[in-house]
Amino acid sequence: MSPSTRRLLKESTDLQTNPSPYFHAAPVSDTNLFDWHFTLLGPPAPSPYAGGIYHGRITLPPTYPLRPPSFRFLTPSGRFEVNREICLSISGHHEETWQPAWGIRTALIALRSFMDGDAKGQVGGLDVADEVRRRYARESRAWRCDGCEGSKGRGNEVVMREWWGVCRERGGVVEGEEDFEGEEDKSEGKDGDEAAAADAGISAGVDAGADSTSQIAQAEVQPQQPQQQQQLQQHTPPATRPLPPVPAAAPAAAAAAAATSQDTPWLDRAIIGVIIALVAMILRRLTRDMDMD
């Protein structure tokens, strides 16, 4: 098994074990792990893509993750051209910015945040009116992928609803689904700003700070594991008490200084005694010389 195949199997398992309520991604077939399809929930309001559910394709190179994947949207969105490879810092158009530590989960989180950005002439980008994007968002829920085995001819909304059920089974939290259920009925017979206001209901439970990849990564819902949390609390080691401070020993320099100060008087006396003895010897010598004369 090649490193790329092993990596893709690991990512596929992780996406099933720790599902995100914001997107679903899986290989098109079990025999080809390098061709994936994804279903992505649009960014939250006030984004014009709020309420939209978009389907797309991920093509991974044989050397993945050393080289980045490429992305294309199959659902009309008004942000990206349909079925054309898009130019992003996480895609094959910018291999110099890709990091092998990233994966499909990271790329989809970033892709969701990039939707609210301006096209600015990027490859595969579109600049259209927000009302057109809101209309595409409403129409995207019923869009079907004919070549996707995972959807089995079902619409994007049906696929995401089933995926939300998987998220709940895995312990994940799906917020805002109740608001989403009524969006289709509310939007019928409405257009313009009224329809856009109805579409905003989907974002009730989605983190409003989805402006960058790092913020969305922090906001992504992870499965809750209460049993593991209880085990961690039970096995939390008791707090350690600090040891009483050990009294510092007297510095050797202080002891030496004290000894020197005690010996100083004796040294002075010895020097004085030697001087007196020398003076006495000199006087005796002088006295003896005078007597001889």
Mean pLDDT of 25-34: 92
157 and 61 housed in the same domain: yes
Q: Considering the chain, what percentage of its residues have pLDDT values greater than 90?
A: 45
Q: How confident is the model over 94-139, as pLDDT tens digits? A: 688 899 999 999 999 999 998 998 887 777 889 899 999 999 999 9
How would DSSP label each residue in the chain?
--HHHHHHHHHHHHHHHS-BTTEEEEEEETTEEEEEEEEEEPPPTTSTTTT-EEEEEEE--TTTTSS--EEEE-S--SSB-BTS----TTSGGGGGG--TT--HHHHHHHHHHHTTS--TT-TTB----HHHHHHHHHHHTT-B-TT-TTTTT-BHHHHHHHHHHHHHHTT----SHHHHHTHHHHHTT--HHHHHHHHGGGGGGS-TTTTSHHHHHHHS-----HHHHHHHHHTPPPPPPPPPPPPPPPPHHHHHHHHHHHHHHHHHHHHHHHHHHHHHHHHHHHHHHHHH-
More confident residue, 244 or 8: 8
pLDDT of residue 239: 53
262 and 222 housed in the same domain: no
Q: Which domain holds residue 280?
A: 258-293
273 and 204 housed in the same domain: no
More confident residue, 283 or 204: 283
Domain tally, the chain: 2
Q: How far apart are CA 120 and CA 16, in angstroms?
A: 35
266 pLDDT tier (thresholds 50, 70, 90): low
More confident residue, 110 or 210: 110
Residue 233 in domain: no
CATH number at residue 87: 3.10.110.10
79 and 12 housed in the same domain: yes
121 and 184 housed in the same domain: yes
160 and 271 housed in the same domain: no
Average the pLDDT over each of 120-129, 138-147, 232-241, 270-279 and give the range with the smallest value.
Answer: 232-241
pLDDT of residue 206: 33
Residue 37 in domain: yes
How would DSSP label each residue in 238-287?
PPPPPPPPPPPPPPHHHHHHHHHHHHHHHHHHHHHHHHHHHHHHHHHHHH
Residue 87 in domain: yes
Residue 251 in domain: no
pLDDT of residue 22: 96
Q: How confident is the model over 242-256, as pLDDT tens digits? A: 555 554 444 555 555
199 and 93 housed in the same domain: yes
pLDDT of residue 243: 56
pLDDT of residue 265: 65
Residue 204 in domain: yes
pLDDT of residue 150: 59
Please determine, for residue 185, whether its predicted confidence score (pLDDT) is greater than 60: no
pLDDT of residue 44: 93
Residue 53 in domain: yes
More confident residue, 22 or 288: 22
Mean pLDDT of 64-84: 94
153 and 276 housed in the same domain: no
286 and 179 housed in the same domain: no
Please determine, for residue 202, whether its predicted confidence score (pLDDT) is greater than 60: no
Say if pTM beats, i.e. exceeds, 0.85: no
Residue 251 tokens read as 């510095």
266 and 180 housed in the same domain: no
Residue 125 in domain: yes
Residue 238 in domain: no
More confident residue, 44 or 212: 44
36 and 132 housed in the same domain: yes
Give the residue numbers marked as catalytic: 87
Q: How far apart are CA 291 and CA 284, in angstroms?
A: 11
Side-chain half-sphere exposure of 100, counting CA atoms within 13 A: 9
Please determine, for residue 224, whether its predicted confidence score (pLDDT) is greater than 90: no
Residue pair 22/220 in contact (Cβ under 8 Å)? The answer is yes
More confident residue, 5 or 121: 5
pLDDT of residue 135: 97
More confident residue, 287 or 94: 287
pLDDT of residue 245: 57
pLDDT of residue 16: 94
